[in-house]
Structure formats: C-alpha cells, structure tokens
C-alpha cells in the first residue's frame, strides 16, 4: 500500500530560492518550480527544511532541473481579483532531491 500524497517528479526551478528562518532556529527555503510535462504548464511551490535547505541554497539556481520526492498538500487561498473566488495552490514539502540537468553558467 502506498501513500497517495507522496510525489516524485522532475521540475525546473523558476525563481531564486527564498531563505526564511522559522522560530529563530529552523532554516526554510521556498521557491516555485514548473512540473515538466508535455501538455500545459503546471507550477508548484516547493518547501525545503533544515540541512536540505542549506544544500539547495549552495548548489541549485534558476533553470536547473531537479528530481524531487516529497509530500503534496493543497492550500485554499482567497483571490480578491476574481470576486472572492477560492484558488487552490499546490505545495510540496521536499524530503529528497537529486540533480538532473544543471546550468553550468
């Protein structure tokens, strides 16, 4: 039996990682990434914690492709531009990361 919210995917980093310090101790890194697929564009928010967050800051940058594994969650968010219509955003808490295609520039 497998967990329905566990996801493994190849993604392209869309923006520079943002560093956040949580409760004065825990390093959190967040950024948006694009799921690689043939039809349409899907953007997902990635969150890294602790030592993995340090590794992301050191080694990965915009337009790198990475293979990630983690737990998917959906967040409901109000959008004031669309008459208070609820929007759903996908967030992935990443626990494993592997380089796939990295920019050398």
Question: How many C-beta atoms lie closer than 10 Å to residue 52's C-beta?
Answer: 16
pLDDT per residue as tens, the chain (105 positions): 455 788 898 999 999 999 999 888 889 999 999 987 767 778 899 999 989 999 999 999 999 999 999 998 887 776 666 566 677 788 899 999 998 887 766
Contact 15, 62 (CB under 8 A): yes
The topology (CATH level 3) of 6-101 is OB fold (Dihydrolipoamide Acetyltransferase, E2P) (2.40.50)
pTM to 2 decimals?
0.81
Structure tokens at 26: 């825990």
For 65, residues 6+ apart whose C-beta sits below 8 A from its C-beta are 10, 11, 12, 13, 36, 100, 101, 102
Q: Show me where the domains of the chain are located.
A: 6-101
Rounded CA-CA distance 58/60 in Å is 6
């Amino acid at each position: 039996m497998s967990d329905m919210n566990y996801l493994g995917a190849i993604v392209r980093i869309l923006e520079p990682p943002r560093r956040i310090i949580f409760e004065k101790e825990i390093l959190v890194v967040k950024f948006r990434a694009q799921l690689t697929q043939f039809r349409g564009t899907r953007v997902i928010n990635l969150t890294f914690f602790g030592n993995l967050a340090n590794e992301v800051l050191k080694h990965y940058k915009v337009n790198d492709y990475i293979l990630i594994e983690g737990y998917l969650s959906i967040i409901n968010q109000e959008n004031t531009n669309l008459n208070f219509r609820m929007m759903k955003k996908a967030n992935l808490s990443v626990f494993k990361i592997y380089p796939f295609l990295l920019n050398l520039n």
